[in-house]
């Protein structure tokens, strides 16, 4: 009983992780210029561009914005990036990592485009061939309205939006170029955020936001609107999307403040105690971080040497810079894209969105457990890339989509004749039984669902995503699983068969 309770709590902790917040890495607009480099300058411009991009990332990580200039004369590249000021450091890094890969859709390599800007709701990145850091407006500024019409009193919404954006645009220049807030009148609430970029001075910020205010009113009565100007960003929405800025962004500042207050008000003993505590915490953090770095370093070395290693650039190109049209699906741990490698081989590339610590565990699981496992009913892991801005896993490509796709479309569901279903049931069960009984490292999948059962052209079932796999204790031949609150014991094979049969014979979908 206690065991199952413990297990439940453990599982809840694993899945409902309160630390996972939203980096708002959703694209608001990608704007590329139409200037290109003349042929003799291309090579230099591109290498300056790459050098600038490499310099931007560490700066973002330390100060949340970055302005970089690289190169000389006609091949100088200017780059600027910044996160929205309400994001945590971790979300800022995540948002920026995505932003950096997506700006390549302006095709700086293929067509030598000399400028581009990418607005995400959590961060911003721009590169160009002239000094633009203090600019407020330009002809490429854009207003992007949401698709959904507001259900409710539109004139109340418009009035609230106007009041809100007037207030935000007045407040932001006074408060370090950033302001969030909301307005509620007559049961309608709108939320908003205004931010000017770091090098846009006070008067330019005011000017930029004033223009943004006049443009954003064209979006009402849509539920959402954004103005994406050269020097500022303004957004309203009927959903709360920002983090409340009254929450502390950095714990370390608070720690010192606390230490100072305590020291001033209490005895030398208290001071000593505080110093000891601070030293202890700092030391612990440093050791922890060093440990994580060493773990990461060791893994990087191992992966680099192995044949499992793929280069980030190759995978990026293979998936057309993770273009939406290549997207195969979205899972809990990341999204999956179809890619074609330079040798013509078709693969599925999974992008993992995890912060470093969680990611190391996840990665370790997936790569180490699965790369040795070969079975006709299991999706094969071909390799990975962890040296780039985000980590990628490369799987064999299974052409006929997942069972989930068949269940979500009635027409496709009818394709699954009983012989086919029998084949799928048997194949899935064989795959699971292999994981449970025959493979060297015994694995419990723990996330069997329709979208994790892929189908080959001949309807051979293939089980995907071993992300939640855990090692199977050597001396145990039976597993326990909590179903609907009751602890039941099954032989793994019968469990597997039951599970799949119940999925496939679900007649409520017919
Ligand atoms: C580039 O775009 C600008 C406006 O954005 C336009 O005026 C200009 O004609 C374009 N130039 C070319 C070569 O397409
Ligand atoms: C441009 O980047 C390269 C490579 O990082 C560096 O060696 C060089 O000093 C940079 N140039 C300028 C002008 O910052
Ligand atoms: C830079 O480009 C301009 C026009 O494209 C040209 O007139 C000038 O000579 C170039 N300067 C250098 C140093 O290449
Ligand atoms: C602010 O920046 C603009 C250019 O964006 C410049 O024209 C103006 O003189 C600057 N104002 C101050 C007070 O520095
Ligand atoms: C923004 O508003 C100005 C007038 O205030 C207008 O000229 C411009 O076209 C608008 N821009 C967009 C992107 O709607
Ligand atoms: C919207 O609200 C205003 C002010 O409360 C009211 O005068 C108007 O009749 C309402 N419109 C609708 C369609 O309910
Ligand atoms: C903006 O709203 C806040 C809170 O409602 C208020 O305290 C502040 O005075 C307003 N600022 C302006 C310029 O209207
Ligand atoms: C921030 O949160 C507090 C309480 O959670 C709330 O009173 C306050 O209005 C919020 N501020 C903004 C700008 O949303
Ligand atoms: C606001 O909503 C509540 C419940 O949703 C309703 O009882 C009330 O009449 C509404 N007030 C106005 C002014 O629409």
The closest of 493, 466, 304 to 380, measured between CA atoms, is 466
- Return the number of other C-beta atoms located less than 10 Å from residue 197's C-beta: 26
What are the 10-residue block averages of pLDDT along the chain, 510 residues in total? 40 37 84 88 85 88 94 94 92 84 73 90 95 95 94 93 96 94 94 96 95 94 95 95 60 36 44 56 60 54 64 87 85 80 92 53 60 84 74 86 80 78 90 82 73 88 68 34 28 42 41
Q: What's the predicted TM-score (pTM) here?
A: 0.59
Please enumerate, as own/partner, the contacts of 407-412 that have beta carbons within 8 Å and a separation of 24 or more: 407/450, 407/506, 407/509, 410/509
What's the rounded Cα separation, in Å, for the pair 386 and 97? 13
Rounded to the nearest whole angstrom, what is the distance from the C-alpha of residue 386 to the centroid of ligand 4? 43
Q: What letter does residue 175 receive in the DSSP assignment? A: T
- The residue whose C-alpha atom lies closest to atom 4 belonging to ligand 1 is 139
What structural domains and CATH numbers belong to the chain?
2-14+250-296 (no CATH), 27-128 (3.30.430.20), 142-237 (3.30.430.20), 403-509 (1.10.510.10)
Interval 241-269: pLDDT, tens: 998 754 433 333 333 333 333 334 444 44
Task: Indicate the helix (H) or strand (E) that contains 321.
Answer: none
Rounded to the nearest whole angstrom, what is the distance from the C-alpha of residue 33 to the centroid of ligand 1? 8
- What backbone torsions phi and psi does residue 205 show, to the nearest 5 degrees? -60, -45
Strand, helix or coil for residue 311? coil
**Tokens representing residue 445 in the block:** 């999948």
Which of 160, 162, 164, 167 has most ligand 7 atoms within 8 Å of CB, for mutation?
167
Our measurement of the distance from residue 143's CA atom to the centroid of its chain's CA atoms, rounded to an integer in Å, reads: 25
Strand partners, 222: 149
What's the rounded Cα separation, in Å, for the pair 197 and 209? 11
The set of catalytic residues is 447
Interval 8-39: pLDDT, tens: 333 333 333 333 467 888 889 999 998 988 88
Compute the C-alpha angle 251/257/258, nearest 5°. 90
- The residue whose C-alpha atom lies closest to atom 11 belonging to ligand 7 is 167
Strand pairing report for 232-237 and 381-385: unpaired
Ligand 9 contact, 186 CB (< 6 A): yes
Ligand 2 contact, 75 CB (< 6 A): no
What's the rounded Cα separation, in Å, for the pair 65 and 39? 32
Rounded to the nearest whole angstrom, what is the distance from the C-alpha of residue 164 to the centroid of ligand 5? 19
What's the rounded Cα separation, in Å, for the pair 3 and 86? 41
> Considering the chain, what is the average pLDDT of its residues?
76
């Amino acid at each position: 009983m206690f065991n199952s309770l413990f297990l439940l709590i453990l599982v809840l902790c694993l899945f409902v992780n309160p630390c996972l917040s939203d980096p708002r890495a959703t694209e608001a607009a990608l704007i590329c210029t139409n200037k290109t480099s003349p042929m003799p300058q291309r090579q230099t411009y591109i290498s300056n561009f790459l050098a600038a991009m490499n310099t931007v990332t560490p700066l973002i990580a330390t100060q949340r914005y970055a302005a970089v200039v690289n190169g000389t004369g006609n091949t100088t590249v200017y780059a600027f990036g910044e996160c929205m000021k309400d994001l945590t450091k971790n979300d800022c890094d995540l948002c920026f990592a995505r932003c950096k890969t997506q700006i390549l859709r302006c095709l700086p390599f293929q067509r030598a485009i000399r400028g581009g800007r990418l607005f995400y709701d959590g961060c911003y990145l721009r590169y160009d061939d002239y000094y633009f850091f203090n600019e407020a407006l330009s002809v490429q500024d854009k207003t992007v309205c949401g698709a959904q019409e507001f259900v409710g009193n539109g004139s109340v919404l418009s009035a609230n939006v106007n009041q809100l954006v007037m207030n935000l645009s007045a407040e932001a220049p006074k408060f370090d170029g950033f302001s969030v807030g909301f307005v509620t009148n007559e049961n309608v609430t709108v939320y908003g955020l205004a931010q000017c970029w770091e090098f846009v001075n006070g008067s330019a910020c005011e000017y930029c936001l004033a223009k943004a205010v006049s443009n954003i009113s064209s979006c009402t009565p849509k539920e959402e609107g954004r103005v994406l100007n050269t020097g500022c960003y303004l957004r309203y929405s009927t959903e709360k999307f920002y983090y409340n800025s009254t929450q502390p962004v950095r714990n370390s500042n608070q720690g010192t403040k606390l230490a100072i207050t305590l020291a001033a008000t209490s005895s030398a003993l208290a001071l000593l105690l505080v110093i000891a505590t601070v030293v202890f915490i700092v030391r612990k953090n440093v050791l922890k971080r060093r440990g994580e770095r060493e773990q990461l370093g060791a893994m990087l070395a191992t992966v680099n040497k192995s044949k499992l290693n793929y280069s980030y650039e190759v995978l990026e190109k293979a998936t057309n810079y993770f273009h939406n049209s290549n997207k195969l699906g979205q899972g809990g741990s990341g999204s999956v894209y179809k890619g074609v490698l330079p040798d013509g081989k078709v693969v599925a590339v999974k992008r993992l969105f995890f912060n470093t610590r969680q990611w190391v565990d996840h990665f370790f699981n997936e790569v180490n457990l699965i790369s040795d496992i070969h079975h006709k009913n299991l999706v094969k892991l071909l390799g990975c890339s962890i040296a780039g801005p985000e980590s990628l896993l490369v799987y064999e490509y299974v052409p006929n989509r997942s069972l989930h796709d068949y269940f979500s479309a009635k027409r496709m569901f009818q394709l699954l004749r009983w012989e086919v279903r029998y084949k799928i049931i048997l194949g899935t069960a064989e795959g699971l039984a292999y994981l449970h009984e025959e493979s060297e490292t015994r694995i419990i999948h723990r996330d069997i669902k329709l979208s994790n059962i892929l189908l080959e052209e001949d309807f051979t079932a293939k089980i995907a995503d071993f992300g939640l796999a855990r090692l199977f204790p050597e001396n145990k031949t039976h597993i326990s699983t909590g179903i609907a609150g009751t602890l039941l014991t099954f032989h793994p094979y019968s469990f597997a068969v039951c599970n799949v049969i119940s999925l496939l014979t679900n007649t409520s979908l017919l």
